[in-house]
Amino acid sequence: MKKKISTKKKVIAGKNGGVYFTAVFRKVSRGYIGFVEELPGANTQGRTLKETRENLSEAIALVLEANRTLAEEALVGQEVIREPFLLAIA
């Protein structure tokens, strides 16, 4: 039996300060594919659902790191303000 998936989920802040995204997994002939709806480029595959989940965590970290590097390179020599930003969900 397939688990019903809610389509009304949003990015939400966790109690531990983390942010929750919506991960989507699909069974394919050689295992699973997975991606994060809210984060383009964060996608992966694996032989098992567990492996795909682990790979997706790594993919998210790599996308965030790459985006930070691209932003830093684009801003070289410019005066900017950098500060922590907490996404508050209403």
Q: Tell me the per-residue pLDDT of 25-54, one tens digit each, with 9 for 90 and over.
A: 999 999 999 999 999 999 999 999 999 999
Query: Which runs of consecutive H residues, i.e. helices, occur in the chain?
Result: 49-74
Residue 21 neighbours by CB under 8 Å, 6+ apart:
11, 36, 37, 38, 39, 60
33 belongs to a structural domain: yes
Residue 43 sits in a domain of what CATH number? 3.30.160.250
Domain assignment of residue 27, given as a range: 12-74
pLDDT at 89 over 60: yes
Q: Is residue 43 part of a domain?
A: yes
- Using the CB atoms, write b or e for 1-19: b if 16+ within 10 Å: eeeeeeeeeeeeeeeeeee
Is the whole-model pTM more than 0.75?
no
* Mean pLDDT over the full length of the chain: 85
Residue entry with tokens 């500060």:
83
pLDDT on residue 16: 63
Total domains in the chain come to: 1
